[in-house]
Amino acid sequence: MPSGIFIFFFLNLVGTMGDFEKTLRQDMVSQLHDFAAAGDTARLKALLRRSPSLLNASAGNGWTALMYGARNGHLEVVQVLLQEGCDQSIINKSQQTALDIAKFWGYKHIANLLANVKGGQKPSFLSNYVEEYENYFGTTLLDRRSNKRTDSKWLSEKQSHPATVYILFSDLSPLVTLGEGRESSQQPEVKLCRLHHKDVEECMNQTEECTLVFLGVELQYDENLMAACSGRGLQEEDGLVAWFALSIGSASAEKFKQKHEDCYFLHPPMPALLQLPEKEAGVVAQARSVLAWHSRYRFCPTCGSATKIEEGGYKKTCLKEDCPSLQGVHNTSYPRVDPVVIMQVIHPDGNHCLLGRQKRFPPGMFSCLAGFVEPGETIGDAVRREVEEETGVKVSHVQYVSCQPWPMPSSLMIGCLAVAVSTEIEVDKNEIEDARWFTREQVVEVLIKGNQHSFFVPPSRAIAHQLIKHWIGMNANL
Ligand SMILES: *C1O[C@H](CO)[C@@H](O)[C@H](O)[C@H]1NC(C)=O
Ligand SMILES: *[C@@H]1O[C@H](CO)[C@@H](O)[C@H](O)[C@H]1NC(C)=O
Ligand SMILES: *[C@@H]1O[C@H](CO)[C@@H](O)[C@H](O)[C@H]1NC(C)=O
Ligand SMILES: *[C@@H]1O[C@H](CO)[C@@H](O)[C@H](O)[C@H]1NC(C)=O
Ligand SMILES: [Zn+2]
């Protein structure tokens, strides 16, 4: 036999065997799906024991055994498949998960089982490692030196020291001036007016309400700076440059504006505060939150008596002698921080994200969903609850990405990725106005190419922007 013919015959045989195996597997997949659809748990188990690799296999329409079980209301089949560790985030050709299918066909008990998503399997497109990055309002040029807050001698010396920096607030707006970068094509940048004791002395002497908060000392990065400080005649002291925030009443504010013509109070706070240099933004976040606490919590929350400010502005002590707040540690006496979860919700396919808009957003803007963490609630549960309340979408896995202090007046935005296990959207109109799945391409168009015809997202200094960008940078689930 000529060898050419033999080779042809041989190759043909190999090809046939490959097809044969493929057909055999397809047969087994349809068998598994038939058992799931019919609710034949015994035979389904037996088949999976022989061929465990069939578990997540889908048919031509994208349906899995789990979907067939869910479609036909077979609770036991669904239980077995979940026990075997099947992938419940797979979607059919029209983007529906097994949970969507169970809900659609009204099998509530199965939907409940599939929606019991806590501790769900981590989808492959979430990486283990999230690079730490800092958001706007999260970087500062100060070291808080909280140990100095109780050192009243040190504090009062620093208050009158000529090198000490004062930043002024009126009605929670910082006093600023136009910075450089103004000539360049970018947005004009504003910077804090850094005042000194001589500038604020008169104001501080007046009885008019005026609150002082110790913010910290300038971070000293190198020897040169230390040397420069000693040059300024601080040798005999610690050489630390202290910063204070001073909140003044409206009458003093008027006087100030007249005296310092190039300065003005930045108002309204948003989005104006987003124009500060990064490192000053962190200082403003700290100062504004503490000052806002002083202005909103004037009296003792326990008994309603007057209070006095202590510890450099970080504690309010009740003046009533037998107030229970004076015994033990009571957090009623310290500034508060309000945790908010903000999440980039990812579609089970990894390639769509869920963005919503509130009524107060400018027209066309969509952003990540967000909400306050409730007492006694974990971050993950807060994310799952908020997403479901606002959009009806169920979320399983939650991954922390980064956070952002948000001084409006004292939130901490906890940025997360959240993976959906259902896709049907049912907007709660009391909470938000609209919510939609956006494709990766649509988001890239807006975020990277700056093509904002159809919609736009918050500016880069908002954590929502960074979360969306983080998702775009992640590997697609192709
Ligand atoms: C209040 O907060 C302090 C830390 O600032 C903590 O040590 C203390 O246990 C808290 N007390 C209560 C009653 O929560
Ligand atoms: C099915 O999918 C899940 C989740 O992705 C995975 O952990 C599991 O190993 C898969 N099982 C098989 C047999 O493919
Ligand atoms: C996907 O599932 C939904 C819900 O059962 C159904 O309406 C839709 O037709 C399915 N799509 C395909 C391609 O099977
Ligand atoms: C403020 O008060 C101090 C002490 O009471 C006094 O020495 C100082 O001269 C006053 N400064 C101004 C500008 O009124
Ligand atoms: Zn009290």
Rounded to 5°, the CA angle 296-301-307 comes to: 75
Output the CA 334–ligand 1 centroid distance in Å.
9
Please give the biggest Cα pair distance in the chain. 113
* From 149, 311, 329, 332, mutation site for ligand 1 pocket: most ligand atoms within 8 A of C-beta: 329
CA distance 74 to 70: 6
Residue 109 DSSP one-character state: H
Q: Which atom of ligand 4 is nearest to the CA of 204?
A: 1
**201 pocket-lining for ligand 4 (C-beta < 6 Å):** yes
Between strands 315-318 and 411-420, the pairing is unpaired
- Dihedral, CA atoms, 122, 461, 281, 184, nearest 10 degrees? 150
Output the CA 47–ligand 3 centroid distance in Å.
26
Q: Tell me the ligand closest to 107's alpha carbon.
A: 3
- Could you report the per-residue pLDDT of 330-376, keeping only the tens digit for each? 667 899 999 999 999 999 888 999 999 999 999 999 999 999 999 99
Output the CA 299–ligand 5 centroid distance in Å.
8
CB 57 within 8 A of CB 86: no
Residue from 368, 316, 379 nearest 345 by CA? 368
Amino acid at 127: S
**329 pocket-lining for ligand 1 (C-beta < 6 Å):** yes
Output the CA 355–ligand 1 centroid distance in Å.
37
Residue 478, pLDDT score: 38
Output the CA 383–ligand 1 centroid distance in Å.
25
Rounded to 5°, the CA angle 278-282-287 comes to: 140
Per residue of the chain (478 residues), give pLDDT as tens. 445 455 445 545 555 657 888 889 999 999 999 999 999 999 999 999 999 999 999 998 899 999 999 999 999 999 999 999 998 889 998 889 999 999 999 999 999 888 876 766 677 778 777 777 899 999 999 999 999 999 999 999 999 999 999 999 999 999 999 877 555 556 668 999 999 999 999 888 876 678 999 999 999 765 555 555 555 554 457 889 999 999 999 888 998 888 889 999 998 888 899 999 999 999 999 999 999 999 999 999 889 999 999 999 999 999 999 998 888 766 678 999 999 999 999 998 889 999 999 999 999 999 999 999 999 999 999 999 999 999 999 998 999 999 999 999 999 999 999 999 999 999 999 989 999 999 999 999 999 888 888 899 999 999 999 999 999 988 654 3
* From 61, 71, 93, 95, mutation site for ligand 3 pocket: most ligand atoms within 8 A of C-beta: 93
Interhelix angle 250-259/197-205, nearest 10 degrees = 150
- Ranges assigned E (strand) in 118-182: 142-143, 165-170, 173-178
Residue 229, pLDDT score: 55
Q: Is 3 exposed, middle or buried (0-12, 13-18, 19+ CB in 10 A)?
A: exposed
Interhelix angle 3-38/75-83, nearest 10 degrees = 130
Q: Using a 6 Å CB cutoff, which residues line ligand 3?
A: 61, 92-94, 96, 100-101, 104
User: Which residue's CA lies nearest to atom 5 of ligand 1?
Assistant: 331
**250 pocket-lining for ligand 2 (C-beta < 6 Å):** no
**331 pocket-lining for ligand 1 (C-beta < 6 Å):** yes
List the beta bridge partners of residue 212. 246
**82 pocket-lining for ligand 2 (C-beta < 6 Å):** no
Residue 233 DSSP one-character state: I
Output the CA 64–ligand 3 centroid distance in Å.
12
Protein residues within 5 Å, CB atom, of ion ligand 5: 300, 302-303, 305, 318, 320, 323, 325
Residue 1, pLDDT score: 45
Q: Which helix (H) or strand (E) holds 25?
A: helix 3-38
CA distance 157 to 164: 10
List the beta bridge partners of residue 248. 170, 210
Residue 365 DSSP one-character state: B
CA distance 197 to 204: 9
Tokens of 98: 């097994």
- Could you report the per-residue pLDDT of 41-80, keeping only the tens digit for each? 999 999 999 999 999 999 988 999 999 999 999 999 999 9
Residue from 471, 473, 449, 468 nearest 457 by CA? 468
**202 pocket-lining for ligand 4 (C-beta < 6 Å):** yes
